[in-house]
Every structure is written in structure tokens, then in C-alpha cells.
């Protein structure tokens, strides 16, 4: 049994969400990039430009929500689709009907979804400090090992990673491995674009020149050093979350704008040429006599 989405439902706030999505018609390498109660943004790496649903066509989607693992099945229509260079396709889908109570599951997830933050390698004292600094503004997920950190960062909704601990090499290795994983994932469609990855707030030891190099390479968002103040950590994480959300929306809007410009260019090229001298003919016509 499916439950329709109201045609008059107001457009709800989009939230970042990076999870694999199964589509019918099938679309290779499909991931969500953001979601709301009324629609979802997708990226994919189709084998051919004709693969998957086209603009205006119906599509069935299936994906799991982070944390709870609840499965969502929904039917929708492709509002726009753009096949960019590099065999990457992006599209916006408007929801039409959810399976069973899946619409309620999604609404509950969105209503309870806070800023998701992963905290890696924190000591007990650091964990208490991070919790105090971010209480009420973020949901924290603690990772004791590099594999735990990778799993939490790539699960689909973490906007920020706070790297703590006293082991400099372990902390730097995590930053580098995440960057390498994003670089490997982008061309294959195995993950979201690196520009949409979790922002890293670095709170572990490191040589200043190493931090400068990481910052200039875009691999860390802020470097606060060991034992940052509560206010500094609070502000850095909130800024990371805001910047992450803004870049997500900018990325989506850029693709939609590129698609619109290409469509307008294609339409203009199909217009028949104006007759030679048409403009001169119009201006050469005698003006009608003035009445009265």
C-alpha cells in the first residue's frame, strides 16, 4: 500500500544525506546528496547517457536511513536531470507516494536530525569536553579506531569530524586516508563528491607546517590544537556544519543551473533563422497616419 504526498505540501528544508539509493529504472552508482520530506537530490555514474529515468518520468527509489537503518521506499517523478561531463548525472526527484508508513519514518528522521558529528580518538577527558561544548546542538558519534571513524564518516550524514587524541601520527594518518578514499571514490561513483565530504576540525598535536599544508590542500577545515576552549570548539563545529550545508546546496544549484543553460542553448540553436532583412523591413514600413 502506498501513501501519496500532498500536491500542496510546502517545500521543506533540505538536509545533507549521503546514502546509496537503488532506483527503478536502474541507475548505476546512485547516491543521495540531500533530502527533504518532499524530494531528494541524487548523483549517479550511469554506464550510458540513456540509462535510468529521464526528466518527467516516474522512478521508484529505495534507500536506508543512517543510524536507525530504517528502509524507505518511495515513488516519485524526475523534476530535472543533468548529465554533466565526466559521466556523472545529477537529478532532483519529487516524491509522489511512500510505501506503507515510510513517509512517517522519513518525517520522524528529519524532525529529529541534528548536526551529526563524529569524534575520533578522544580520551575520556576530551570526550567530556566535546560533549559539554556541543550539548544540545549536535549528535555525537565516538570512534576509537580508524576503521570506526571511516565507518561513521561514510555512513551518510556526518557533517563534521573532530579529530582528537594525543597520537599525532594516528590523527594525521586518518586525515590523509580519508582524503585518499574520497579521491578514489569520486571517479567511480562509489561515494559522494569530495566537496560534500565531512569537514574536519583538527584538535590533535601536529607540526604547524604540516597543518598549514593540510589546510591549504583543503583536507582540514579548522585546526584548533590539543585541548581547545569550549567556545572555540563550539564555534568551529557549528561553522563546519553551516559551511557543509551551504556547499551542498551550492553544488546542487550549480548543476541545476548548468542544465538550464545547456537546455536554453540547445533550444536557441534549433530556432529557425530570421528572414534576411526582416528587421529592416519592419522599420522601413511607413508609420500609420495620425488620427484626429
The shares of helix, strand and coil residues in the chain, as percent rounded to the nearest 5, are: 40, 25, 35
Give, as one character, the DSSP assignment of residue 156: S
Asked if 198 and 151 touch (Cβ cutoff 8 Å), the reply is no
Per-residue pLDDT of the chain (292 residues; tens, 9 = 90+): 666 765 444 556 778 788 889 999 999 989 888 899 999 999 888 988 889 999 999 999 999 998 778 999 999 999 999 887 667 888 999 999 999 999 999 999 888 767 889 999 999 999 999 999 998 889 899 999 999 999 998 877 788 999 999 999 999 999 999 988 776 654 444 344 555 688 999 999 999 999 999 999 989 999 999 999 999 999 999 999 888 777 666 666 676 677 777 777 777 776 555 444 443 333 333 444 444 4
Give, as one character, the DSSP assignment of residue 48: S
Report the C-alpha gap between 95 and 59 in whole angstroms: 9
Report the C-alpha gap between 150 and 120 in whole angstroms: 10
Burial label, 94 (beta-carbon count in 10 A; 0-12, 13-18, 19+)? middle
- Full-model pTM: 0.65
Three-class secondary structure of residue 45 per DSSP: coil
Amino acid at each position: 500500500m502506498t501513501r501519496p504526498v500532498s500536491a500542496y505540501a510546502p517545500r521543506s528544508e533540505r538536509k545533507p544525506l549521503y546514502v546509496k539509493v537503488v532506483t527503478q529504472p536502474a541507475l548505476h552508482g546512485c547516491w543521495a546528496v540531500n533530502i527533504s520530506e518532499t524530494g531528494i537530490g541524487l548523483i549517479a555514474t550511469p554506464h550510458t547517457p540513456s540509462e535510468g529515468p529521464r526528466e518527467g518520468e516516474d522512478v521508484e527509489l529505495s534507500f536506508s536511513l543512517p543510524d536507525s537503518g530504517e528502509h524507505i521506499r518511495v515513488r516519485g517523478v524526475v523534476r530535472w536531470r543533468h548529465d554533466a561531463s565526466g559521466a556523472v548525472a545529477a537529478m532532483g526527484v519529487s516524491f509522489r507516494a511512500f510505501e506503507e508508513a515510510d513517509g512517517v519514518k522519513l518525517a520522524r528522521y528529519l524532525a529529529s536530525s541534528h548536526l551529526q558529528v563524529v569524534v575520533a580518538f578522544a580520551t575520556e577527558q576530551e570526550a567530556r569536553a566535546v560533549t559539554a561544548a556541543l550539548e544540545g546542538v549536535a549528535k555525537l558519534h565516538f570512534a576509537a579506531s580508524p576503521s570506526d571513524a571511516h565507518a561513521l564518516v561514510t555512513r551518510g550524514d556526518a557533517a563534521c569530524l573532530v579529530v582528537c587524541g594525543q597520537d599525532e601520527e594516528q590523527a594525521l594518518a586518518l586525515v590523509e586516508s580519508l582524503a585518499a578514499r574520497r579521491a578514489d571514490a569520486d571517479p567511480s561513483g562509489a561515494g559522494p563528491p569530495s566537496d560534500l565530504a565531512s569537514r574536519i576540525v583538527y584538535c590533535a598535536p601536529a607540526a604547524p607546517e604540516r597543518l598549514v599544508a593540510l589546510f591549504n590542500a583543503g583536507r582540514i577545515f579548522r585546526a584548533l590544537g590539543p585541548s581547545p576552549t569550549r567556545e572555540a570548539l563550539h564555534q568551529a563545529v557549528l561553522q563546519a556544519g553551516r559551511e557543509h550545508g551551504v556547499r551542498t546546496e551550492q553544488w546542487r544549484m550549480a548543476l541545476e543551473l548548468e542544465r538550464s543553460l545547456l537546455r536554453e542553448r540547445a533550444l536557441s540553436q534549433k530556432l529557425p533563422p530570421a528572414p534576411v532583412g526582416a528587421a529592416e523591413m519592419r522599420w522601413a514600413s511607413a508609420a500609420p497616419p495620425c488620427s484626429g
